[in-house]
Structure 1
Amino acid sequence: MVAVASIHDRLRNPDAGVRRIAVIDLPYTDEEDDIAPLLVEALSDADASVRLEAAKALEGFEEHEVLTALVPLLKDSDAAVRDAVAYTLAELKEPSSAGPILPYLSDADAEVQAAALQAVRALRVDAAFEPAMQALQHTDARVRRAAVGVLGYLKKPQALGALTEVAAHDPDAEVRRIAVGAISYAGDTADVSVLPALGRAIADPVWQVREEAATTYAKTNSLLGVPNLVRAMDDEYWQVRVKAARSLGKLKARDGVMVLIEALIHPVSNLRKEAVIALGEIGDSRAIAPLERAMQDPDPDVRKLSKLALTSMQMPKQGA
């Protein structure tokens, strides 16, 4: 343990580097009651690196004084400090903490608005819904990304139309990717509101968006997207193929058996593993012989997974 008296002296040292290390040491002091007040005091330090460490160290402190001190730093002049404050506020996980943050959701400064949206995302407060919907139209991609995150956490059906539009047409690839992931909560409405957007996303020019779309298909629980997943098994990026294989397995899509069998000889072992797992989940007898051959695969994980897949396929079904 570090003596709190020594921390006091170092926090007032003219050298910012000394003060920064003192802040890092604070959580390990022998006086727990003094930690939060001293960290709050460090939030007003003239040096951004000290404020940054104080903001990070306050994660997990739920005192009202901490919240009150952190929120104004959403407008800090240093981007790293703003991000750390947003993260620490989000980690409070208490919806009641959102009140002081809400006014910042429509701040004129795009960086402040983005940080505030990030802060309330995990708090899941209804009051953030309308500001987030409006922020989808912001000219700054950082704000739109944060807004999509808020709406994805809130999981409101009213947002699906806007999110699918963003997923298909936003000029920023990362915004499109996040939006594709955010619409995975569509549930029973997936067939009409989400699948058309996923159909566009699985053909997006940016492979990370296609990869997200391939993942999201499984969460819709709809077989209507299987043809697109089958085509995605021929994507030029193996990362997209991996997610497509995984979704075909989760959907138990028999129409994907043949492309999954073809993937068993792909040079990337991660794809061969996913294909084996998916074939085991689907349980189609056409895969038995290819899986038996896969038990000679040079990758031990592929051999192990092939054995498990064959075993699961040979087990009697419940209720049979």
Structure 2
Amino acid sequence: MLDALTRRLTDPDATVRRLAVLDLPYSDEDDIVPLLLPRLADIDATVRVEAVRALEGYEAPEVVAALAGLLLDPHADVRRAAADVLAELKDSASAAPLLPMLLGGPAAARASAFRAVRSLRSPAAFDPAMQSLRDPETSVRREAVGVLGYLKNPAAVGELAEVAANDPDPEVRRIAIGALGYSSTVSVLPALVRALGDSIWMVREEAAQTIGKLRLSPATAELVQAMADDYWQVRVAAARSLGWLKAHAGLPALVASLTHPVSNLRKEAVIALGEIGDTRAIAPLEASLADPDPDVRKLARLALTAIALAERKTQ
């Protein structure tokens, strides 16, 4: 069996080699790593891609080092596959061979290396990520911001706030806003409030959501204003946050949203009204019991029950 498999792995036909790689995980061979590692240098990119994917879950140093080397592969599909597999690593020690790649080499390799070390939460990646916040390559900045979000180091808050406000790429700004959501300090409030006025709705949506996650009640007025945003997605995030904050000041805007044509917004408004627990919402919620969306009707019943329970506790 092994001899036949070895012959297929070295067959002159790339299709035969690729199919042999695909069969390896299902073979009786206990250790397939020695058979797969040579295929990472196969002349055919499709074989290299499948060999990379077959190595997912293996965290031996020689595997990680070989995959890290493929972040410099000339074929984009191979680089992408290697980055995806490396990003699934769980052992923080696996970050070691990736760290030298964070600040050197082509942008695609640096971005892939940052993405790979992100979930490993290696403190050694902090300084390279901070240095890369001003990288000319957008992909590198995006991944560096993601690393800082995972590391949750308060020393990054000021820089992330600056990126959230001024980076030219809206996706970088959005990710930076999300990264600020891991902070436990109110110093991020000005940056989040400023982001509610960003020209891109996805950034505004992230800011509205993050304000609620951090329970930043001083931004209640700005969240109420966000309930009039042109994009319903931003209104949904603002409604959710008003509920988390139990913001009674949001009652009029939430009640007005109960008749919005987008059911997702109506659902979120109903949930928020239940969380706030204001008895003034009872009549509007009772009207929502006739909503055309069954989920809205169900949530309205739950919200009314929550308000009744909260009222009984105060008596």
Q: TM-score if structure 2 supplies the norm length? A: 0.95
SS of structure 2 residue aligned to 1:186? coil
Aligned to 2:292: 298
Per the TM alignment, residue 27 of structure 1 is displaced from its structure 2 partner at its CA by 1.6
SS in 2 for 1:226: helix
Amino acid at match of 1:23: V
Q: Which position in structure 2 is the counterpart of 1:161?
A: 158
Residue identity in the other structure for 1:69: A
Q: CA RMSD in A?
A: 1.7
Give CA deviations for 1:172-222 in whole Å, capped at 9, x if unaligned. Answer: 1110011010010121x22xx211111121111111111111111112211
Q: Deviation digits for residues 222-265 of structure 1, max 9, x if unmatched?
A: 10111121111111111111111111111111111111111100
Whole-Å separation in 1 of the counterparts to 2:290 and 2:170: 40
Measured in 2, the distance between the counterparts of 1:36 and 1:302 equals: 53
Q: CA offsets per residue over residues 60-115 of structure 1, 9 Å max, x none?
A: 11222212221211211122322222222221211111111111011131111111
In structure 2, what is the Cα distance between the partners aligned to 1:96 and 1:319? 53
1:289 aligns with 2:283: yes
**1:115-134 paired onto structure 2 within 5 Å:** 115-134=112-131
Deviation at 1:318, TM superposition (A): 6.3
- The Cα shift of 1:5 comes to 5.1
Shift of 1:17: 3.0
2:163 corresponds to 1:175: no
Amino acid at match of 2:128: P
Distance in 1, matches of 2:4 and 2:303, equals 61
> Quick one: which of 11, 14, 27 aligns to 2:12?
14
Q: Paired residue for 2:52? A: 55
Structure 2: distance between partners of 1:207 and 1:15: 51
**Which residue, out of 266, 272, 276, partners 2:270?**
276
Greater mean alpha carbon deviation, residues 158-167 or residues 78-87: 78-87
Kindly tell me: are residues 17 and 163 of structure 1, through their superposed partners in 2, closer, same or farther at Cα, counting changes over 3 Å? Answer: same
Unmatched 5+ residue regions in structure 1? none
Q: Which residue of structure 2 lines up, in the alignment, with residue 101 of structure 1?
A: 98
- The residue aligned with 1:29 is 27
1:56, CA displacement in angstroms?
2.0
Identify which range, 109-118 or 298-307, moves more after superposition: 109-118
Amino acid at match of 1:159: A
Task: Indicate the larger mover: 174-183 or 246-255.
Answer: 246-255
Q: Identify which range, 310-319 or 263-272, moves more after superposition.
A: 310-319
Counterpart position of 1:225: 219
**Partners of 1:95 and 1:293 in 2: how far apart?**
54
Unpaired segments of 5 or more residues in structure 2?
A: none
Query: CA separation of 1:17/1:214 partners in 2, compared to 1, >3 Å: closer, same or farther?
Result: farther
Q: Assess, with a 3 A threshold, how the Cα gap between structure 1 residues 109 and 281 changes in structure 2: closer, same or farther.
A: same
Q: Specify the code of the residue in structure 1 equivalent to 2:53.
A: K
Shift of 1:26: 2.0
Change (3 A) 1:208 1:4: farther
- Aligned residue in 1 for 2:246: 252
> CA distance change for structure 1 residues 99 and 319 in 2, over 3 Å: closer, same or farther?
farther
Equivalent-residue separation in structure 2 for 1:152 and 1:172 (angstroms)? 17
Kindly report structure 1 stretches of 4+ aligned residues shifted beyond 6 Å: 317-320
2:231 and 2:4 mapped to 1: Cα distance? 55
Residues 135-177 of structure 1, C-alpha deviations (whole Å, 9 max, x = no match): 0011000010010011001001100000000000000111001
Identical amino acids, percent of aligned pairs = 59
Q: 2:87 aligns with which of 75, 85, 90?
A: 90
Residue 13 to residue 290, structure 1, CA distance change in 2 (3 Å)? same
Sort the Cα spacing of 1:126 and 1:319 in 2 relative to 1 into closer, same or farther, 3 A.
farther
Q: Give the TM-score of the pair, scaled to structure 1.
A: 0.93
Aligned AA for 1:137?
R
Q: Distance in 2 between matches of 1:166 and 1:205?
A: 15
Check if 1:194 corresponds to 2:191: no
